[in-house]
Structure 1
Amino acid sequence: MSAPVRGRSTRVRPANRRPKSAEYRARRRVILRRRLVALLTVLSVVGVVYCVFFTPLLGVHQVDVRGNAALTEDEVRAVAAIETGSPLVRLDLQEIHDRVAGIPRVAAVEVERQLPGTVRLLITERTPVGSVKLPDGYHLVDATGKDYAILPAAAPGVPELGLTLPSSSDPATRAVVGVVNDLPEQLRPDVLAVAATTGADVKLTLSGNRVVKWGSAEDTKRKAAVLLVLLSRKGTTYDVSSPDLATVS
Protein backbone atom coordinates (compact mmCIF):
# COMPACT_ATOMS: atom_id res chain seq x y z
CA MET A 1 0.00 0.00 0.00
CA SER A 2 1.53 3.29 -1.07
CA ALA A 3 1.95 6.17 1.39
CA PRO A 4 0.08 9.47 0.75
CA VAL A 5 2.07 12.26 -0.91
CA ARG A 6 2.68 15.09 1.48
CA GLY A 7 3.13 18.84 0.67
CA ARG A 8 1.04 18.88 -2.46
CA SER A 9 -2.33 20.63 -2.76
CA THR A 10 -4.82 20.37 -5.53
CA ARG A 11 -7.02 23.56 -5.45
CA VAL A 12 -9.32 24.01 -8.38
CA ARG A 13 -9.91 27.63 -9.50
CA PRO A 14 -13.39 28.37 -10.92
CA ALA A 15 -13.27 28.74 -14.66
CA ASN A 16 -15.30 31.94 -14.67
CA ARG A 17 -13.18 33.78 -12.12
CA ARG A 18 -10.34 36.09 -13.29
CA PRO A 19 -7.11 36.28 -11.37
CA LYS A 20 -7.03 38.91 -8.63
CA SER A 21 -4.21 40.68 -10.41
CA ALA A 22 -6.43 41.23 -13.48
CA GLU A 23 -9.26 42.66 -11.36
CA TYR A 24 -6.81 44.99 -9.63
CA ARG A 25 -5.42 46.26 -12.89
CA ALA A 26 -8.93 46.90 -14.23
CA ARG A 27 -9.94 48.84 -11.12
CA ARG A 28 -6.66 50.73 -11.24
CA ARG A 29 -7.33 51.81 -14.84
CA VAL A 30 -10.81 53.07 -13.92
CA ILE A 31 -9.44 55.05 -10.97
CA LEU A 32 -6.65 56.56 -13.06
CA ARG A 33 -9.10 57.45 -15.81
CA ARG A 34 -11.39 59.21 -13.33
CA ARG A 35 -8.48 61.08 -11.79
CA LEU A 36 -7.29 62.17 -15.22
CA VAL A 37 -10.77 63.46 -16.14
CA ALA A 38 -11.01 65.34 -12.83
CA LEU A 39 -7.54 66.85 -13.33
CA LEU A 40 -8.35 67.94 -16.88
CA THR A 41 -11.62 69.48 -15.66
CA VAL A 42 -9.84 71.45 -12.93
CA LEU A 43 -7.17 72.59 -15.37
CA SER A 44 -9.85 73.68 -17.86
CA VAL A 45 -11.69 75.68 -15.20
CA VAL A 46 -8.46 77.28 -14.03
CA GLY A 47 -7.56 78.12 -17.62
CA VAL A 48 -10.94 79.72 -18.31
CA VAL A 49 -10.82 81.74 -15.08
CA TYR A 50 -7.29 82.89 -15.86
CA CYS A 51 -8.21 83.93 -19.41
CA VAL A 52 -11.33 85.79 -18.24
CA PHE A 53 -9.82 87.56 -15.25
CA PHE A 54 -6.17 88.07 -16.14
CA THR A 55 -5.78 88.27 -19.93
CA PRO A 56 -7.11 90.55 -22.72
CA LEU A 57 -9.01 87.59 -24.25
CA LEU A 58 -12.27 88.99 -22.83
CA GLY A 59 -10.83 92.44 -22.29
CA VAL A 60 -12.20 95.83 -23.25
CA HIS A 61 -11.90 96.47 -26.98
CA GLN A 62 -14.53 99.21 -27.36
CA VAL A 63 -16.08 101.97 -25.23
CA ASP A 64 -19.47 102.79 -26.75
CA VAL A 65 -20.82 106.24 -25.79
CA ARG A 66 -24.53 106.90 -26.31
CA GLY A 67 -26.85 109.82 -25.58
CA ASN A 68 -24.26 112.60 -25.78
CA ALA A 69 -25.02 115.82 -27.67
CA ALA A 70 -22.86 118.73 -26.57
CA LEU A 71 -20.17 116.40 -25.23
CA THR A 72 -18.00 114.49 -27.69
CA GLU A 73 -17.42 110.75 -27.39
CA ASP A 74 -13.70 111.35 -26.92
CA GLU A 75 -14.36 113.74 -24.03
CA VAL A 76 -16.45 111.11 -22.26
CA ARG A 77 -13.97 108.30 -22.96
CA ALA A 78 -11.08 110.40 -21.63
CA VAL A 79 -12.87 110.95 -18.32
CA ALA A 80 -14.07 107.33 -18.10
CA ALA A 81 -10.40 106.28 -18.35
CA ILE A 82 -11.10 102.66 -19.34
CA GLU A 83 -7.85 101.06 -20.47
CA THR A 84 -8.05 98.97 -23.64
CA GLY A 85 -7.51 95.29 -22.87
CA SER A 86 -8.59 95.54 -19.25
CA PRO A 87 -10.45 92.33 -18.26
CA LEU A 88 -14.14 93.13 -18.67
CA VAL A 89 -15.30 91.27 -15.55
CA ARG A 90 -12.80 93.06 -13.31
CA LEU A 91 -13.88 96.60 -14.20
CA ASP A 92 -15.15 98.70 -11.30
CA LEU A 93 -18.39 99.97 -12.86
CA GLN A 94 -19.18 102.22 -9.90
CA GLU A 95 -15.82 103.94 -10.18
CA ILE A 96 -16.34 104.50 -13.91
CA HIS A 97 -19.84 105.81 -13.19
CA ASP A 98 -18.56 108.29 -10.62
CA ARG A 99 -15.88 109.62 -12.95
CA VAL A 100 -18.30 110.22 -15.83
CA ALA A 101 -21.01 111.59 -13.51
CA GLY A 102 -18.48 114.20 -12.40
CA ILE A 103 -18.61 115.87 -15.83
CA PRO A 104 -20.62 119.08 -15.27
CA ARG A 105 -22.81 118.56 -18.33
CA VAL A 106 -23.78 115.01 -17.30
CA ALA A 107 -27.08 114.69 -15.43
CA ALA A 108 -27.04 110.87 -15.29
CA VAL A 109 -25.01 107.96 -16.64
CA GLU A 110 -25.42 104.19 -16.85
CA VAL A 111 -22.43 101.87 -17.30
CA GLU A 112 -22.95 98.44 -18.85
CA ARG A 113 -20.73 95.47 -19.72
CA GLN A 114 -21.45 93.81 -23.05
CA LEU A 115 -19.64 90.62 -23.99
CA PRO A 116 -17.29 89.92 -25.54
CA GLY A 117 -15.44 93.23 -25.07
CA THR A 118 -17.62 96.36 -24.97
CA VAL A 119 -18.36 98.88 -22.24
CA ARG A 120 -21.42 101.01 -22.98
CA LEU A 121 -21.87 104.46 -21.42
CA LEU A 122 -25.44 105.78 -21.62
CA ILE A 123 -25.29 109.54 -21.06
CA THR A 124 -28.10 111.91 -20.14
CA GLU A 125 -26.96 115.51 -20.53
CA ARG A 126 -28.34 118.41 -18.54
CA THR A 127 -31.00 120.52 -20.23
CA PRO A 128 -30.87 124.29 -19.66
CA VAL A 129 -33.92 126.09 -18.30
CA GLY A 130 -32.20 129.44 -18.72
CA SER A 131 -28.89 131.27 -18.97
CA VAL A 132 -27.30 133.87 -16.71
CA LYS A 133 -25.19 136.63 -18.22
CA LEU A 134 -21.96 137.11 -16.25
CA PRO A 135 -18.63 138.79 -17.16
CA ASP A 136 -17.13 135.52 -18.46
CA GLY A 137 -20.12 134.57 -20.63
CA TYR A 138 -23.58 133.05 -20.40
CA HIS A 139 -23.88 130.41 -17.70
CA LEU A 140 -26.33 127.59 -18.40
CA VAL A 141 -28.55 126.58 -15.50
CA ASP A 142 -30.54 123.33 -15.43
CA ALA A 143 -33.81 122.38 -13.70
CA THR A 144 -31.99 121.73 -10.40
CA GLY A 145 -30.41 125.19 -10.38
CA LYS A 146 -26.95 123.85 -11.22
CA ASP A 147 -24.62 126.15 -13.15
CA TYR A 148 -22.99 123.60 -15.46
CA ALA A 149 -21.58 125.30 -18.59
CA ILE A 150 -20.53 128.65 -20.07
CA LEU A 151 -21.34 129.84 -23.58
CA PRO A 152 -20.08 132.94 -25.40
CA ALA A 153 -23.65 133.87 -26.39
CA ALA A 154 -27.12 133.47 -24.92
CA ALA A 155 -28.57 129.98 -25.24
CA PRO A 156 -31.36 129.94 -27.84
CA GLY A 157 -34.85 128.95 -26.80
CA VAL A 158 -34.48 129.58 -23.07
CA PRO A 159 -35.08 132.76 -21.04
CA GLU A 160 -32.32 134.86 -19.56
CA LEU A 161 -32.21 134.49 -15.79
CA GLY A 162 -31.56 137.67 -13.86
CA LEU A 163 -29.42 136.30 -11.04
CA THR A 164 -26.29 137.65 -9.37
CA LEU A 165 -24.61 134.26 -9.03
CA PRO A 166 -26.57 131.10 -9.92
CA SER A 167 -26.36 128.37 -7.30
CA SER A 168 -28.67 125.52 -6.31
CA SER A 169 -28.33 126.66 -2.69
CA ASP A 170 -29.30 130.30 -3.43
CA PRO A 171 -32.96 131.16 -2.56
CA ALA A 172 -33.27 133.46 -5.57
CA THR A 173 -31.97 130.76 -7.92
CA ARG A 174 -34.31 128.15 -6.46
CA ALA A 175 -37.28 130.51 -6.80
CA VAL A 176 -36.49 131.45 -10.41
CA VAL A 177 -35.85 127.87 -11.47
CA GLY A 178 -38.96 126.68 -9.64
CA VAL A 179 -41.12 129.16 -11.53
CA VAL A 180 -39.56 128.34 -14.91
CA ASN A 181 -39.97 124.60 -14.34
CA ASP A 182 -43.70 124.95 -13.67
CA LEU A 183 -44.64 127.39 -16.42
CA PRO A 184 -47.26 125.99 -18.83
CA GLU A 185 -46.19 125.35 -22.40
CA GLN A 186 -48.51 128.00 -23.84
CA LEU A 187 -46.81 130.67 -21.76
CA ARG A 188 -43.16 129.74 -22.32
CA PRO A 189 -42.71 131.29 -25.81
CA ASP A 190 -43.58 134.73 -24.42
CA VAL A 191 -41.16 134.57 -21.47
CA LEU A 192 -37.93 136.40 -22.33
CA ALA A 193 -36.42 136.75 -18.86
CA VAL A 194 -36.99 135.70 -15.24
CA ALA A 195 -35.28 137.58 -12.42
CA ALA A 196 -35.17 137.65 -8.61
CA THR A 197 -33.00 139.04 -5.83
CA THR A 198 -34.65 136.97 -3.07
CA GLY A 199 -36.91 133.96 -2.96
CA ALA A 200 -40.03 136.16 -2.89
CA ASP A 201 -39.64 138.77 -5.64
CA VAL A 202 -39.62 136.82 -8.89
CA LYS A 203 -40.37 138.94 -11.94
CA LEU A 204 -41.04 137.82 -15.51
CA THR A 205 -40.36 139.87 -18.62
CA LEU A 206 -42.64 138.95 -21.51
CA SER A 207 -42.61 139.88 -25.15
CA GLY A 208 -44.17 143.24 -25.96
CA ASN A 209 -42.42 144.99 -23.03
CA ARG A 210 -44.79 143.40 -20.53
CA VAL A 211 -43.75 142.68 -16.95
CA VAL A 212 -45.25 140.15 -14.53
CA LYS A 213 -44.83 140.50 -10.79
CA TRP A 214 -44.80 136.88 -9.68
CA GLY A 215 -43.68 137.00 -6.06
CA SER A 216 -42.54 133.65 -4.62
CA ALA A 217 -42.42 130.31 -6.40
CA GLU A 218 -45.42 129.09 -4.43
CA ASP A 219 -48.71 128.46 -6.27
CA THR A 220 -46.95 128.81 -9.61
CA LYS A 221 -49.52 126.75 -11.50
CA ARG A 222 -52.40 128.81 -10.09
CA LYS A 223 -50.58 132.05 -10.83
CA ALA A 224 -49.90 130.88 -14.38
CA ALA A 225 -53.58 130.05 -14.91
CA VAL A 226 -54.60 133.51 -13.65
CA LEU A 227 -51.94 135.18 -15.81
CA LEU A 228 -53.19 133.46 -18.97
CA VAL A 229 -56.60 135.01 -18.34
CA LEU A 230 -55.15 138.46 -17.55
CA LEU A 231 -53.08 138.50 -20.73
CA SER A 232 -56.29 138.87 -22.70
CA ARG A 233 -56.44 142.40 -21.31
CA LYS A 234 -54.22 145.24 -22.47
CA GLY A 235 -51.55 146.32 -20.04
CA THR A 236 -47.83 146.54 -19.33
CA THR A 237 -47.71 145.26 -15.74
CA TYR A 238 -49.47 142.14 -14.51
CA ASP A 239 -49.38 141.36 -10.79
CA VAL A 240 -50.17 137.75 -9.84
CA SER A 241 -48.14 137.67 -6.63
CA SER A 242 -51.50 137.27 -4.87
CA PRO A 243 -53.50 135.30 -7.44
CA ASP A 244 -56.81 136.02 -5.71
CA LEU A 245 -56.14 139.76 -6.00
CA ALA A 246 -54.41 139.88 -9.39
CA THR A 247 -54.23 143.23 -11.19
CA VAL A 248 -53.41 144.70 -14.60
CA SER A 249 -52.05 148.18 -15.15
Structure 2
Amino acid sequence: SQLDAQTVAHALSGQIGTPLAAVDESAVKAALVQFPLIETYTVEAQPPHDLVVRIVERTPVGFIQYPSGYALVDAAGVQLSMSSTPPSGYPALTVSDTSSAAFRALGAVIRALPAQLRSIVTAGSAQTADDVTLTIGGTGTRIVWGSA
Protein backbone atom coordinates (compact mmCIF):
# COMPACT_ATOMS: atom_id res chain seq x y z
CA SER A 1 0.00 0.00 0.00
CA GLN A 2 2.97 2.34 0.51
CA LEU A 3 5.22 1.14 -2.29
CA ASP A 4 4.49 2.14 -5.85
CA ALA A 5 3.80 -1.14 -7.68
CA GLN A 6 5.02 0.24 -11.02
CA THR A 7 8.35 1.28 -9.50
CA VAL A 8 8.84 -2.20 -8.05
CA ALA A 9 7.85 -3.79 -11.37
CA HIS A 10 10.33 -1.55 -13.18
CA ALA A 11 13.10 -2.61 -10.76
CA LEU A 12 12.32 -6.24 -11.60
CA SER A 13 12.02 -5.65 -15.36
CA GLY A 14 15.40 -7.30 -15.97
CA GLN A 15 13.72 -10.64 -15.28
CA ILE A 16 10.99 -10.18 -17.91
CA GLY A 17 11.37 -12.69 -20.70
CA THR A 18 13.66 -14.92 -18.64
CA PRO A 19 12.56 -18.57 -18.51
CA LEU A 20 11.36 -19.45 -14.99
CA ALA A 21 14.17 -21.96 -14.50
CA ALA A 22 16.73 -19.26 -15.31
CA VAL A 23 15.35 -16.49 -13.06
CA ASP A 24 18.25 -15.10 -11.05
CA GLU A 25 17.03 -14.85 -7.45
CA SER A 26 20.12 -12.86 -6.46
CA ALA A 27 19.19 -10.30 -9.15
CA VAL A 28 15.65 -10.17 -7.72
CA LYS A 29 17.12 -9.60 -4.26
CA ALA A 30 19.46 -6.88 -5.59
CA ALA A 31 16.50 -5.14 -7.22
CA LEU A 32 14.37 -5.26 -4.06
CA VAL A 33 16.94 -4.24 -1.43
CA GLN A 34 16.84 -0.70 -2.79
CA PHE A 35 13.35 -0.32 -1.27
CA PRO A 36 13.62 0.33 2.48
CA LEU A 37 9.86 -0.21 2.87
CA ILE A 38 10.22 -3.92 2.03
CA GLU A 39 10.43 -5.98 5.21
CA THR A 40 10.26 -9.41 3.55
CA TYR A 41 9.46 -10.88 0.18
CA THR A 42 8.96 -14.28 -1.41
CA VAL A 43 9.44 -15.35 -5.00
CA GLU A 44 7.18 -18.03 -6.43
CA ALA A 45 7.38 -19.55 -9.90
CA GLN A 46 3.96 -20.37 -11.35
CA PRO A 47 4.46 -22.36 -14.55
CA PRO A 48 4.27 -21.98 -17.38
CA HIS A 49 5.45 -18.35 -17.34
CA ASP A 50 4.51 -16.38 -14.20
CA LEU A 51 6.86 -15.18 -11.50
CA VAL A 52 4.99 -13.93 -8.42
CA VAL A 53 6.79 -11.67 -5.96
CA ARG A 54 4.91 -11.20 -2.69
CA ILE A 55 6.04 -8.23 -0.62
CA VAL A 56 5.42 -7.47 3.05
CA GLU A 57 5.93 -3.79 3.76
CA ARG A 58 7.47 -2.40 6.91
CA THR A 59 5.01 -0.82 9.34
CA PRO A 60 6.02 2.65 10.56
CA VAL A 61 5.70 3.04 14.33
CA GLY A 62 6.72 6.69 14.69
CA PHE A 63 9.29 9.32 13.93
CA ILE A 64 12.53 10.48 15.51
CA GLN A 65 13.70 14.06 15.27
CA TYR A 66 17.31 14.58 14.20
CA PRO A 67 19.13 17.84 13.44
CA SER A 68 18.70 17.06 9.72
CA GLY A 69 14.96 16.39 9.94
CA TYR A 70 12.39 13.80 10.93
CA ALA A 71 12.99 10.10 10.27
CA LEU A 72 9.99 7.77 10.01
CA VAL A 73 11.04 4.39 11.46
CA ASP A 74 9.64 0.91 11.89
CA ALA A 75 9.79 -1.29 15.00
CA ALA A 76 13.24 -2.59 13.97
CA GLY A 77 14.62 0.96 13.77
CA VAL A 78 14.85 0.96 9.97
CA GLN A 79 14.53 4.48 8.58
CA LEU A 80 11.70 4.46 6.04
CA SER A 81 11.79 8.11 5.01
CA MET A 82 13.24 11.47 5.97
CA SER A 83 11.39 14.79 5.86
CA SER A 84 11.80 18.38 7.00
CA THR A 85 8.46 18.30 8.82
CA PRO A 86 7.07 15.75 11.29
CA PRO A 87 5.10 13.01 9.50
CA SER A 88 1.43 13.35 10.42
CA GLY A 89 -0.37 10.47 12.04
CA TYR A 90 2.69 9.03 13.78
CA PRO A 91 3.97 9.54 17.33
CA ALA A 92 7.22 11.32 18.15
CA LEU A 93 9.64 8.74 19.58
CA THR A 94 12.29 9.57 22.17
CA VAL A 95 15.01 6.96 22.59
CA SER A 96 18.78 7.13 22.79
CA ASP A 97 19.50 4.51 20.13
CA THR A 98 17.31 2.65 17.61
CA SER A 99 19.39 -0.51 18.09
CA SER A 100 18.78 -0.59 21.87
CA ALA A 101 16.54 -2.91 23.86
CA ALA A 102 14.60 0.20 24.91
CA PHE A 103 13.74 1.02 21.30
CA ARG A 104 12.81 -2.60 20.51
CA ALA A 105 10.42 -2.60 23.49
CA LEU A 106 8.90 0.75 22.49
CA GLY A 107 8.46 -0.42 18.88
CA ALA A 108 6.87 -3.70 20.00
CA VAL A 109 4.39 -1.89 22.25
CA ILE A 110 3.33 0.60 19.57
CA ARG A 111 3.05 -2.08 16.90
CA ALA A 112 0.91 -4.28 19.20
CA LEU A 113 -1.62 -1.55 19.96
CA PRO A 114 -5.02 -1.81 18.28
CA ALA A 115 -5.25 0.63 15.34
CA GLN A 116 -7.88 2.78 17.09
CA LEU A 117 -5.62 3.29 20.12
CA ARG A 118 -2.42 3.63 18.06
CA SER A 119 -4.00 6.50 16.11
CA ILE A 120 -4.29 8.67 19.25
CA VAL A 121 -0.76 8.06 20.58
CA THR A 122 1.22 11.25 19.97
CA ALA A 123 4.52 10.33 21.66
CA GLY A 124 6.45 7.38 23.00
CA SER A 125 9.64 7.10 24.99
CA ALA A 126 11.82 4.54 26.72
CA GLN A 127 15.09 4.82 28.61
CA THR A 128 15.20 1.06 29.22
CA ALA A 129 13.22 -1.93 27.97
CA ASP A 130 11.15 -1.75 31.15
CA ASP A 131 9.93 1.85 31.12
CA VAL A 132 7.97 2.32 27.90
CA THR A 133 5.81 5.42 28.23
CA LEU A 134 3.13 6.57 25.79
CA THR A 135 1.42 9.96 25.53
CA ILE A 136 -2.16 10.23 24.33
CA GLY A 137 -2.97 13.28 22.19
CA GLY A 138 -5.54 15.86 23.12
CA THR A 139 -5.36 15.28 26.85
CA GLY A 140 -1.59 14.75 27.05
CA THR A 141 -2.22 11.77 29.29
CA ARG A 142 0.94 9.74 29.95
CA ILE A 143 0.66 5.97 30.19
CA VAL A 144 3.57 4.24 31.90
CA TRP A 145 3.38 0.90 30.12
CA GLY A 146 6.46 -0.83 31.48
CA SER A 147 8.01 -3.58 29.36
CA ALA A 148 6.78 -4.94 26.06
- TM-score in same-fold range (> 0.5): yes
TM-score under structure 2 length normalisation:
0.75
Residues 163, 195 of structure 1: 8 Å contact kept: yes
The answer to whether residue 69 in structure 2 is matched with residue 147 in structure 1 is no
Q: Which of 181, 187, 203 is equivalent to 2:133?
A: 203
The answer to whether residue 61 in structure 2 is matched with residue 126 in structure 1 is no
Structure with greater helix percent: 1
Q: Which of 80, 86, 92 is equivalent to 2:18?
A: 86
Q: Which of 207, 212, 215 is equivalent to 2:143?
A: 212
Q: Secondary structure at the match of 2:2?
A: coil
Residues 1-249 of structure 1 aligned to structure 2 (within 5 Å): 69-77=1-9, 79-80=11-12, 82-93=14-25, 95-102=26-33, 103-143=35-75, 145-152=76-83, 153-167=85-99, 170-185=100-115, 187-207=117-137, 208-214=139-145, 216-218=146-148
* Gaps in structure 1 of 5+ consecutive residues: 1-68, 219-249
Q: Which has the larger radius of gyration?
A: 1
* Gaps in structure 2 of 5+ consecutive residues: none
Q: CA RMSD in A?
A: 2.8
1:147-197 Cα distance to aligned partner (Å, 9 max, x none): 231231333332221123423xx1221121122133345533432100122
1:100, distance to aligned residue in structure 2 (A): 4.7
1:81-104 Cα distance to aligned partner (Å, 9 max, x none): 6344333322134x2453355232
TM-score under structure 1 length normalisation:
0.49
Structure with greater strand percent: 2
Report percent identity of matched pairs: 32
